[in-house]
Structure 1
């Protein structure tokens, strides 16, 4: 939602709801873990009140464990965080589950699958970042592609859902779906600032049986 038109946020939310997305993907940035600020608490609360589809929370922030309760209370059904941003990532996952929510970890381009492998038995989602987090409109980083093959092999053992976020064009959706990705976070590469309605875009992408946020 950081890519949406905030001058008419209610219409944006209603249009996306009517288009049949699966989730509103909410990027929370603190200007410290990533060099940008994004999605204030008031934005999150407002969208949560009017949206008909569930919200997630992508916490691109330092010490995310301190804020799990807050975003759970604001309605997040899935909470993603970056394991390197917290000294006790397994505890963060346990706390998210204790609140009755799904837990996800986000893997930065420079973070290896091996570095987070110990967390894979206890997470619900693994989101691979295919750009460096913090800004929209960046190019897709092809060097992350081997991570999907690694995660697909581990998914068979642990059962998590593979998500992807960053420069996800329609061509990338087809490529990544073949590599085992199930959940696609759409931004300016496919969904926003286009000359088509959200309904048309979602219908065309949905024909590929894709989960969208």
Structure 2
């Protein structure tokens, strides 16, 4: 099964963002993962709108946006207009999540849900027919460099079991190490959000690292 390698750009070197984008593309990544935080739903602030606009414009690869914000429906059209291809929202933040997912699709963007560590499979099962991607969080959202929460492991099996029936892809976000990539790809996880555990700050070329990750 082909892996989707998705660098988390909040971990990138913003002192030379143009070079980071070009080097990651040359390295063979598939999707740029862009985090947006409002300091409310999560106690942190993510990438700026100008940075996201730049990456989407500069990249030949598709970009996703992970909205860690309250009232995500307010921002759907804005990011669709920028040109992102996938928008992830947290069901916990939206009392009308089905309407918001439909808004994403109506805007010509693929829809995704991000599932917090404390959110059960059963909580979101009824909306799986509305999504193109399921992003399983293995850390609490908001910060890079956190420890992997192993109690979420069983959820990967639950989501992978139904992915062919509903037609979505299963992704992992949080402390995604090479060991986790090897283990989870075997059970059907499609994509991997790559941060400091597997890609950034290793002192090696992105191409070399991506080749190793694909071979796992």
TM-score (normalised: structure 2)? 0.94
Q: By how many angstroms is 1:146 displaced?
A: 0.6
Alignment of 1:1-213 (within 5 A): 1-208=9-216
* Alignment gaps of 5+ in structure 1: 209-213
1:26 alignment partner, SS class: strand
What count of residue pairs does the alignment treat as equivalent?
208
Distance of 2:172 and 2:161 partners within structure 1: 16
Bigger relative contact order, structure 1 or 2, given CA contacts below 8 A and separation 6+?
A: 2
Q: Bigger shift: 85-94 or 155-164?
A: 155-164
Distance of 2:54 and 2:165 partners within structure 1: 39
Distance of 1:51 and 1:20 partners within structure 2: 12
**Alignment root-mean-square deviation, CA:** 0.9
TM-score (normalised: structure 1)? 0.95
Distance of 1:189 and 1:153 partners within structure 2: 27
1:93 alignment partner, SS class: helix
Distance of 1:63 and 1:109 partners within structure 2: 20
* Alignment gaps of 5+ in structure 2: 1-8
1:148 alignment partner, SS class: helix
Q: Bigger shift: 175-184 or 21-30?
A: 175-184
Distance of 1:190 and 1:120 partners within structure 2: 29
Distance of 2:68 and 2:80 partners within structure 1: 16
Distance of 2:210 and 2:161 partners within structure 1: 29
Q: By how many angstroms is 1:150 displaced?
A: 1.1
1:115 alignment partner, SS class: helix
Distance of 2:146 and 2:47 partners within structure 1: 18
What do the CA deviations read for 1:68-99 (whole angstroms, capped 9, x no partner)? 00011111100001011111110111111111
What do the CA deviations read for 1:4-52 (whole angstroms, capped 9, x no partner)? 0101111111100111110000000110000000101011011111111
What do the CA deviations read for 1:144-189 (whole angstroms, capped 9, x no partner)? 0010111122223212110000000100001111222001110000
